Amino acid sequence: MKNIYSELLELSRGNLAGVLITVVQKTGSGPADSGTKMLVYPDGSIIGTVGGGTIEKMAIEKAIVMVKNKENCLEEFTMNEPESAGTPTGMLCGGTATLFFEYFAPKNHLYIFGAGHVGKALAYHLRNLDYFVTVIDDRKDVLEKISGADEKILSSFETALENHDVAVNAYFVIATYQHKYDGLVLNRIYKSSWNPQYVGMVSSRSKQKILLDKLRTEVPDVNLENCFIPVGLDIGGGSPDEIALSIIAEIQAVRFGKTGGHLRG
Protein backbone atom coordinates (compact mmCIF):
# COMPACT_ATOMS: atom_id res chain seq x y z
CA MET A 1 0.00 0.00 0.00
CA LYS A 2 1.39 3.41 -0.94
CA ASN A 3 2.36 5.77 1.85
CA ILE A 4 1.32 9.39 1.48
CA TYR A 5 4.68 10.69 2.73
CA SER A 6 6.75 8.55 0.39
CA GLU A 7 4.55 9.75 -2.47
CA LEU A 8 5.06 13.33 -1.29
CA LEU A 9 8.80 12.77 -1.60
CA GLU A 10 8.30 11.75 -5.23
CA LEU A 11 6.21 14.86 -5.82
CA SER A 12 8.85 17.09 -4.24
CA ARG A 13 11.51 15.58 -6.51
CA GLY A 14 9.46 16.52 -9.54
CA ASN A 15 8.84 12.94 -10.63
CA LEU A 16 5.06 13.32 -10.59
CA ALA A 17 2.32 15.92 -10.83
CA GLY A 18 -0.36 16.14 -8.18
CA VAL A 19 -2.15 18.17 -5.55
CA LEU A 20 -1.76 17.81 -1.80
CA ILE A 21 -4.98 18.74 0.01
CA THR A 22 -4.68 19.55 3.70
CA VAL A 23 -7.50 20.29 6.14
CA VAL A 24 -6.14 23.47 7.73
CA GLN A 25 -9.19 24.35 9.84
CA LYS A 26 -12.39 22.68 10.97
CA THR A 27 -15.39 23.96 12.88
CA GLY A 28 -18.31 21.93 14.13
CA SER A 29 -18.65 18.23 13.47
CA GLY A 30 -17.05 18.03 10.04
CA PRO A 31 -15.77 14.68 8.81
CA ALA A 32 -12.01 15.36 8.92
CA ASP A 33 -9.73 16.84 11.58
CA SER A 34 -7.21 19.60 10.95
CA GLY A 35 -3.99 18.23 9.51
CA THR A 36 -5.71 15.44 7.57
CA LYS A 37 -4.16 15.07 4.11
CA MET A 38 -5.03 13.61 0.74
CA LEU A 39 -3.02 13.41 -2.49
CA VAL A 40 -4.86 13.71 -5.80
CA TYR A 41 -3.24 12.78 -9.10
CA PRO A 42 -4.20 14.12 -12.55
CA ASP A 43 -6.26 11.00 -13.32
CA GLY A 44 -8.33 11.46 -10.14
CA SER A 45 -6.72 8.65 -8.16
CA ILE A 46 -6.03 9.44 -4.51
CA ILE A 47 -4.01 8.52 -1.46
CA GLY A 48 -5.36 9.49 1.97
CA THR A 49 -8.65 11.18 2.75
CA VAL A 50 -10.22 14.49 3.77
CA GLY A 51 -13.24 12.81 5.32
CA GLY A 52 -15.06 11.07 2.51
CA GLY A 53 -18.51 11.88 1.24
CA THR A 54 -19.45 14.87 -0.86
CA ILE A 55 -16.71 17.14 0.46
CA GLU A 56 -14.04 14.66 -0.64
CA LYS A 57 -15.65 14.24 -4.07
CA MET A 58 -15.73 18.02 -4.51
CA ALA A 59 -12.14 18.32 -3.31
CA ILE A 60 -10.95 15.73 -5.85
CA GLU A 61 -12.76 17.53 -8.67
CA LYS A 62 -11.23 20.86 -7.64
CA ALA A 63 -7.74 19.31 -7.35
CA ILE A 64 -7.94 18.04 -10.94
CA VAL A 65 -8.72 21.61 -12.03
CA MET A 66 -5.76 22.85 -9.95
CA VAL A 67 -3.47 20.44 -11.83
CA LYS A 68 -4.69 21.77 -15.17
CA ASN A 69 -4.32 25.40 -14.06
CA LYS A 70 -1.08 24.80 -12.14
CA GLU A 71 -2.44 26.75 -9.17
CA ASN A 72 -2.70 26.65 -5.36
CA CYS A 73 -5.78 27.76 -3.49
CA LEU A 74 -7.50 27.91 -0.11
CA GLU A 75 -11.22 27.18 0.04
CA GLU A 76 -13.78 26.83 2.79
CA PHE A 77 -16.52 24.23 2.44
CA THR A 78 -19.70 24.38 4.48
CA MET A 79 -21.78 21.47 5.73
CA ASN A 80 -25.20 23.00 6.49
CA GLU A 81 -23.67 25.96 8.33
CA PRO A 82 -25.96 28.98 7.68
CA GLU A 83 -23.47 31.63 8.78
CA SER A 84 -20.69 30.37 6.52
CA ALA A 85 -19.98 31.95 3.14
CA GLY A 86 -18.11 28.83 2.09
CA THR A 87 -18.84 26.49 -0.79
CA PRO A 88 -21.94 24.42 0.09
CA THR A 89 -21.50 20.66 0.01
CA GLY A 90 -25.07 19.54 0.76
CA MET A 91 -23.77 17.57 3.74
CA LEU A 92 -25.89 17.90 6.89
CA CYS A 93 -23.37 17.18 9.63
CA GLY A 94 -22.81 20.88 10.38
CA GLY A 95 -19.67 22.97 10.55
CA THR A 96 -17.06 23.97 8.01
CA ALA A 97 -13.75 22.68 6.70
CA THR A 98 -11.05 24.86 5.14
CA LEU A 99 -8.85 23.01 2.67
CA PHE A 100 -5.52 24.09 1.23
CA PHE A 101 -4.78 22.80 -2.29
CA GLU A 102 -1.03 22.70 -2.99
CA TYR A 103 0.00 21.98 -6.57
CA PHE A 104 3.20 20.01 -7.26
CA ALA A 105 4.51 20.47 -10.78
CA PRO A 106 6.50 17.71 -12.47
CA LYS A 107 9.93 18.62 -13.69
CA ASN A 108 10.59 18.57 -17.40
CA HIS A 109 12.16 15.20 -18.19
CA LEU A 110 15.30 15.20 -20.29
CA TYR A 111 16.86 11.96 -21.53
CA ILE A 112 20.49 11.96 -22.63
CA PHE A 113 21.62 8.98 -24.68
CA GLY A 114 25.37 8.82 -24.25
CA ALA A 115 27.51 9.52 -21.18
CA GLY A 116 30.59 10.69 -23.08
CA HIS A 117 32.11 14.15 -23.01
CA VAL A 118 29.01 15.99 -24.24
CA GLY A 119 26.60 13.94 -22.13
CA LYS A 120 28.73 14.54 -19.06
CA ALA A 121 28.86 18.28 -19.72
CA LEU A 122 25.11 18.40 -20.29
CA ALA A 123 24.34 16.68 -16.98
CA TYR A 124 26.70 19.04 -15.17
CA HIS A 125 25.24 22.24 -16.59
CA LEU A 126 21.62 21.05 -16.21
CA ARG A 127 21.97 20.24 -12.52
CA ASN A 128 20.54 23.56 -11.31
CA LEU A 129 17.74 23.82 -13.87
CA ASP A 130 14.26 22.34 -13.39
CA TYR A 131 14.79 19.23 -15.47
CA PHE A 132 14.72 15.63 -14.32
CA VAL A 133 17.81 14.36 -16.12
CA THR A 134 18.26 10.71 -17.10
CA VAL A 135 21.56 9.62 -18.66
CA ILE A 136 21.73 6.32 -20.53
CA ASP A 137 24.83 4.40 -21.62
CA ASP A 138 26.06 0.83 -21.94
CA ARG A 139 29.50 1.62 -20.47
CA LYS A 140 29.51 1.29 -16.69
CA ASP A 141 32.83 3.05 -16.14
CA VAL A 142 31.78 6.06 -18.23
CA LEU A 143 28.33 6.27 -16.66
CA GLU A 144 29.81 6.28 -13.16
CA LYS A 145 31.69 9.49 -13.95
CA ILE A 146 28.48 11.41 -14.59
CA SER A 147 27.52 13.96 -11.94
CA GLY A 148 24.39 16.08 -11.82
CA ALA A 149 21.98 13.50 -13.26
CA ASP A 150 18.85 12.51 -11.36
CA GLU A 151 18.94 9.02 -12.84
CA LYS A 152 21.59 6.91 -14.55
CA ILE A 153 20.60 3.84 -16.56
CA LEU A 154 23.17 1.21 -17.52
CA SER A 155 21.63 -0.44 -20.56
CA SER A 156 22.14 -1.17 -24.21
CA PHE A 157 20.79 1.58 -26.43
CA GLU A 158 18.60 -1.00 -28.20
CA THR A 159 16.62 -1.80 -25.04
CA ALA A 160 17.02 1.31 -22.89
CA LEU A 161 13.78 2.61 -21.32
CA GLU A 162 11.82 -0.53 -22.28
CA ASN A 163 10.76 -1.08 -18.67
CA HIS A 164 10.48 2.59 -17.75
CA ASP A 165 7.51 4.94 -17.75
CA VAL A 166 8.89 7.43 -20.23
CA ALA A 167 7.56 10.92 -19.64
CA VAL A 168 5.33 12.28 -22.40
CA ASN A 169 6.49 15.56 -24.00
CA ALA A 170 10.02 14.99 -22.77
CA TYR A 171 13.29 16.25 -24.23
CA PHE A 172 15.82 13.90 -25.82
CA VAL A 173 19.47 14.48 -26.66
CA ILE A 174 21.33 11.81 -28.64
CA ALA A 175 25.09 11.81 -28.20
CA THR A 176 26.21 8.18 -28.29
CA TYR A 177 29.69 7.04 -29.22
CA GLN A 178 28.78 5.38 -32.54
CA HIS A 179 26.73 6.54 -35.52
CA LYS A 180 24.79 3.28 -35.63
CA TYR A 181 23.54 3.84 -32.10
CA ASP A 182 22.57 7.43 -32.88
CA GLY A 183 20.35 6.25 -35.72
CA LEU A 184 18.94 3.39 -33.68
CA VAL A 185 17.93 5.72 -30.84
CA LEU A 186 16.51 8.32 -33.23
CA ASN A 187 14.27 5.74 -34.90
CA ARG A 188 13.20 4.27 -31.56
CA ILE A 189 12.05 7.68 -30.34
CA TYR A 190 9.90 8.36 -33.39
CA LYS A 191 8.50 4.84 -33.54
CA SER A 192 7.41 5.05 -29.91
CA SER A 193 4.41 6.70 -28.30
CA TRP A 194 6.68 9.01 -26.29
CA ASN A 195 5.54 12.12 -28.18
CA PRO A 196 8.80 14.05 -27.68
CA GLN A 197 8.82 17.79 -27.20
CA TYR A 198 12.37 18.01 -28.50
CA VAL A 199 14.85 15.64 -30.12
CA GLY A 200 18.41 16.82 -30.69
CA MET A 201 21.41 14.90 -32.00
CA VAL A 202 25.11 15.70 -32.02
CA SER A 203 25.84 15.25 -35.71
CA SER A 204 27.49 16.54 -38.84
CA ARG A 205 25.29 17.81 -41.68
CA SER A 206 26.31 14.90 -43.91
CA LYS A 207 25.29 12.42 -41.23
CA GLN A 208 22.03 14.32 -40.80
CA LYS A 209 20.85 13.45 -44.31
CA ILE A 210 21.75 9.77 -44.03
CA LEU A 211 19.98 9.33 -40.69
CA LEU A 212 16.88 11.32 -41.62
CA ASP A 213 16.50 9.48 -44.92
CA LYS A 214 16.60 6.18 -43.05
CA LEU A 215 14.13 7.46 -40.48
CA ARG A 216 11.67 8.55 -43.20
CA THR A 217 11.95 5.08 -44.74
CA GLU A 218 11.02 3.40 -41.45
CA VAL A 219 8.49 6.05 -40.34
CA PRO A 220 7.05 7.52 -43.59
CA ASP A 221 4.67 9.98 -41.86
CA VAL A 222 7.22 11.21 -39.31
CA ASN A 223 6.86 14.84 -38.19
CA LEU A 224 10.33 16.35 -37.80
CA GLU A 225 9.26 19.79 -36.65
CA ASN A 226 10.73 19.11 -33.20
CA CYS A 227 13.89 17.40 -34.51
CA PHE A 228 17.17 19.33 -34.36
CA ILE A 229 20.09 17.79 -36.22
CA PRO A 230 22.78 19.07 -35.82
CA VAL A 231 21.79 20.02 -32.30
CA GLY A 232 22.30 23.36 -30.61
CA LEU A 233 22.19 27.10 -31.26
CA ASP A 234 24.96 28.71 -33.30
CA ILE A 235 26.74 30.50 -30.44
CA GLY A 236 30.30 29.46 -31.24
CA GLY A 237 32.83 27.22 -29.51
CA GLY A 238 33.55 23.55 -29.87
CA SER A 239 34.51 22.12 -26.48
CA PRO A 240 32.09 19.70 -24.74
CA ASP A 241 31.04 22.42 -22.30
CA GLU A 242 30.47 24.93 -25.10
CA ILE A 243 28.46 22.37 -27.09
CA ALA A 244 26.42 21.58 -23.98
CA LEU A 245 25.63 25.27 -23.46
CA SER A 246 24.45 25.60 -27.07
CA ILE A 247 22.22 22.53 -26.67
CA ILE A 248 20.72 23.74 -23.39
CA ALA A 249 20.11 27.17 -24.92
CA GLU A 250 18.23 25.52 -27.79
CA ILE A 251 16.17 23.38 -25.42
CA GLN A 252 15.24 26.46 -23.41
CA ALA A 253 14.25 28.31 -26.59
CA VAL A 254 12.00 25.43 -27.67
CA ARG A 255 10.53 25.06 -24.20
CA PHE A 256 9.58 28.74 -23.90
CA GLY A 257 8.70 29.31 -27.55
CA LYS A 258 11.61 31.63 -28.26
CA THR A 259 13.77 32.00 -31.34
CA GLY A 260 17.14 32.28 -29.61
CA GLY A 261 17.78 35.78 -30.95
CA HIS A 262 19.50 38.68 -29.22
CA LEU A 263 17.53 40.34 -26.41
CA ARG A 264 19.10 43.65 -27.49
CA GLY A 265 16.89 43.65 -30.57
CATH number at residue 119: 3.40.50.720
Question: Is residue 97 located within the same domain as residue 115?
Answer: no
Same-domain check for residues 129 and 197: yes
43, 69, 104 - which closes a domain: 104
Asked if 246 contacts 232 with a C-beta cutoff of 8 angstroms, the reply is yes
Tell whether 262 is covered by a domain: no
Residues 91 and 129 grouped into a single domain:
no
Among candidate residues 104, 134, 169, the one where a domain is terminated: 104
Query: What range does the domain containing 75 cover?
Result: 4-104
Count the domains in the chain: 2
| pLDDT digits 0-9 by tens, 154-202 | 999 999 999 888 887 899 999 999 999 999 999 999 999 899 999 999 9
pTM of the full structure: 0.72
- pLDDT score for 265: 66
Out of 61, 82, 104, pick the residue that ends a domain: 104
Q: Residue 18: inside a domain, yes or no?
A: yes
Is the same domain home to 52 and 69? yes
The three-state (H, E, C) secondary structure of the chain, written as one string: CCCHHHHHHHHHCCCCCEEEEEEEEEECCCCCCCCCEEEECCCCCEEECCCCHHHHHHHHHHHHHHHHHCCCEEEEEECCCCCCCCEECCCCCCCEEEEEEEEECCCEEEEEECCCHHHHHHHHHHCCCCEEEEEEECCHHHHCCCCCCCEEEECCCCCCCCCCCCCCCCEEEECCCCHHHHHHHHHHHHHCCCCCCEEEECCCHHHHHHHHHHHHHHCCCCCCCCEECCCCCCCCCCCHHHHHHHHHHHHHHHHCCCCCCCCCC
- The residues with which 88 forms a beta bridge, in sequence order, are 78
pLDDT digits (tens, 9 = 90+) for 208-239: 999 999 999 999 999 999 999 999 999 999 99
- pLDDT of 85 over the 80 cut: no
- Residues 139, 95 share a domain: no
Q: What are phi and psi of 80, to 5 degrees?
A: 60, 45
Quick one: 152 and 93 in the same domain?
no
Residues 209 and 129 in one domain: yes
Q: Is residue 265 part of a domain?
A: no
Same domain, 93 and 50: yes
Please provide the average confidence, as pLDDT, over all residues in the chain. 90
Specify which of 66-70, 134-138, 258-262 reaches the highest per-range mean pLDDT.
134-138
Indicate whether 264 belongs to any domain: no
Indicate whether 72 and 151 sit together in one domain: no
Is 27 part of any domain? yes
Least Cα distance to 236 among 253, 227, 225, 249 occurs for 249
Answer yes or no: do 142 and 230 share one domain: yes
Same domain, 112 and 218: yes
Residues 149, 64 share a domain: no
User: Would you say residue 199 lies in a domain?
Assistant: yes
